[in-house]
Amino acid sequence: MRCIRTGLLVGLASLLSASCSPAAPDHPEDAVVIGALLPFSGSESAIGRNLEEAMLLAVADLNAAGGLDGKPFDLVLGDSHSSLERGLDQLLELIYTDRVAYLVGPEENQIALEIARDVKARDIFHMLPGYAAPFGVRSDTRGGSMRLAPSPFTVGCVLATSAVRDGVEAVNSLAAQDDYNSSVSSEFTSIFSSLGRRVLPSVSFTSGEQTYTDKIDSAFAAHAGRTLLAAYPTTASTIVTEWTVSGRPGTWLLGPALRTEVLLANIPAGALDGYLGVSPSLSLRSECRVVDEDQGTVDCTTGNAEAFIGHFSRRWNEAPLPAAHFYYDGVVLIAMGLAYAQATSGALPSSAYELKNIIRELSSPDHEAASWRDLGAAMARLRAGNPVRYVGAAAEYEFDEHGANQHHFMQTWTVDGDAFVDLAPVPVPCKPGR
C-alpha cells in the first residue's frame, strides 16, 4: 500500500483516521515531495500512525511558514508491513516509481540496510530518525544520510556506566542477531569490560522463533548481575513472557527500542516492574546541567518536550511517541536545508551529499538558534540567506562529520504496571575510541 498525504489537507485528516490510505488525493504539481516508509500494518503497526501524524504536522507547520519559497511540502508514504520482503518492495517503489529525492525512514533496520545501494545509485538524501537506523556509507560523495537518534555506542555507554554506578560486577546479554541489537549488545559489553568489570557469556538468537526457553535458560545460567535484553518489542514480549513463566531469574536492562506500549500490552502485568531502561532524552542540551559528574547526576527541565506534546495533542488528540519527535524534526531539517540552499545559490542542492553538508553546517553553534515553535521566523531568515541552527522537538541538533547527531544526555526509565515511568536523565560520558 502506498499513498500520498498532502500537508494542505491536514485539517481534514485530523477529523478522519490519519492512517495511510490509497484513496488520498494527489499532491500539487509544484510540491516538494518527501517520501517515507512507515509500519502501518504488521507487528509494529502500533507506531506507524503516530509517526505519520508527526510528519503531517511538520508539513502543515512548514506550509504555514511559507513552504519552500511558496511551494508546498507534501508526503508520499509506503507501508513497510513490518516485514523485510514486503517493506522492501514498497520502498523500492518509492525510489524508482515515485522517484523521491528525499527519504525518511524506514524504522526497520534491515530494510534500510537493503536499500543502501539504491539510495547511493539514485543519489537520494536519506534522513534516519529511528532508534535502530543504521549508519550510511561514510566516505562516498554520492548519496547522503543523517542519523538523528543515539547510536548503539551511546546506548551501550549509558547502559554500561549505569550498571557500574549500581555496583554491578558482571553482565551479559540476550541479543537478537540483527545489525542494531547485536551492535548495542557488543558496545554494552565492550564498554563494561573497559571499565574494569567482568563480561560473562552472552546468548544470541534469531527473531521469529516459536520459543526462546533454551536461550533464556542459557543467558541466566551465567548468573550475571544484569542481563541486557536487546531485541525488538514483538520478540521481547515473547521472551519476557517465557522468562516470567520460568520464575523470573536474574535482572534485566532494557534498551530504547523496548520503550513502546506494544511491549507492555503483550507481557504479564508487572513482569518488568522496576527494571532499568534507557532512551533518548527529549530535554534540550541547554535545558540540562550536570549536578555531580562523578555520580552522573543531571538536572533537566522538560519545557520544550512538553510544548511539542501539547502542539501534537491539540492536532491529533493523542500524545506523540518519543520517536515521533525525531520524525517531525527529520522533515523540518530537510526543509530548512533546501530553503537555505535555494536562498544562497539560487537552486536546490545538486546532490544528496551537498544537502547533507548544508544541514550539518546550519547546525553550527555559531549560528542563531531557530525553534520549531516559530518556523515562520526560521524559514524567513533562511529565505533571506541567513543561516540558523535548528532547535527541534527532540534536540538541539549537532552533527558530526558523518551526519550523526551527537547526544550528550540520555533518559533513564522503568516500568510500573502498564506504564513507563521516567527516572533521572544521565550524561553520556564515553567518547568514541574510549
CB distance 47 to 260 below 8 Å: yes
What torsion do the CA atoms of 301, 307, 308, 314 make, to the nearest 10 degrees?
Answer: 150
Average pLDDT over residues 45-49: 83
Confidence of residue 4 (pLDDT cuts 50, 70, 90): low
HSE of 272, CA atoms in CB hemisphere, 13 A: 33
Determine the pLDDT at residue 11: 42
CB distance 91 to 109 below 8 Å: no
Determine the pLDDT at residue 135: 63
Residues 6+ apart with CB under 8 A from 391: 284, 304, 369, 370, 371, 372
Residue 68 has pLDDT above 70, yes or no: yes
Rounded CA separation 213/308 (Å) = 42
**Cell numbers linked to 116:** 543502501
Residue 167 region, left (φ>0) first, then alpha (ψ -120 to 50), else beta?
A: left
17 to 151, 202, 317: CA distances (angstroms):
33, 44, 12
Residue 20 has pLDDT above 90, yes or no: no
169's enclosing H/E stretch is: none
Using only C-alpha atoms, the chain has a radius of gyration, in whole angstroms, of 21
DSSP alpha helix (H) spans, 129-232:
152-165, 179-194, 213-220
Residue 30 has pLDDT above 60, yes or no: yes
Determine the pLDDT at residue 372: 98
Q: What is the pTM of this model?
A: 0.89
**Cell numbers linked to 197:** 568489570
Rounded CA separation 388/385 (Å) = 9
Determine the pLDDT at residue 28: 74
Confidence of residue 369 (pLDDT cuts 50, 70, 90): very high
pLDDT in tens, 264-316: 999 999 999 999 999 999 999 999 998 887 777 889 999 999 999 999 999 99
Contacts of residues 48-51 at CB distance under 8 Å and 24 or more positions apart, as own/partner, are 48/19, 48/20, 48/79, 48/80, 49/17, 49/18, 49/19, 50/318, 50/320, 50/321, 50/323, 50/324, 51/105, 51/107, 51/321, 51/323, 51/324, 51/327
Order of strands, edge to edge, in the sheet holding 73-79? 2-6, 73-79, 32-38, 102-104, 125-128, 144-147
362 to 67, 124, 309: CA distances (angstroms):
18, 20, 25
Minimum mean pLDDT among 128-137, 327-336, 381-390: which range? 128-137
HSE of 150, CA atoms in CB hemisphere, 13 A: 28
Minimum mean pLDDT among 1-15, 129-143, 170-184, 248-262: which range? 1-15
For 247, phi then psi, to 5°, come to 105, 10
Q: What is the mean pLDDT of the chain?
A: 90
Q: How many helices (H) and strands (E) does the chain have?
A: 14, 18
Residue 137 has pLDDT above 60, yes or no: no
**Cell numbers linked to 139:** 566516505
CB distance 186 to 159 below 8 Å: no
Rounded CA separation 297/226 (Å) = 21
Confidence of residue 10 (pLDDT cuts 50, 70, 90): very low
Residue 338 has pLDDT above 60, yes or no: yes
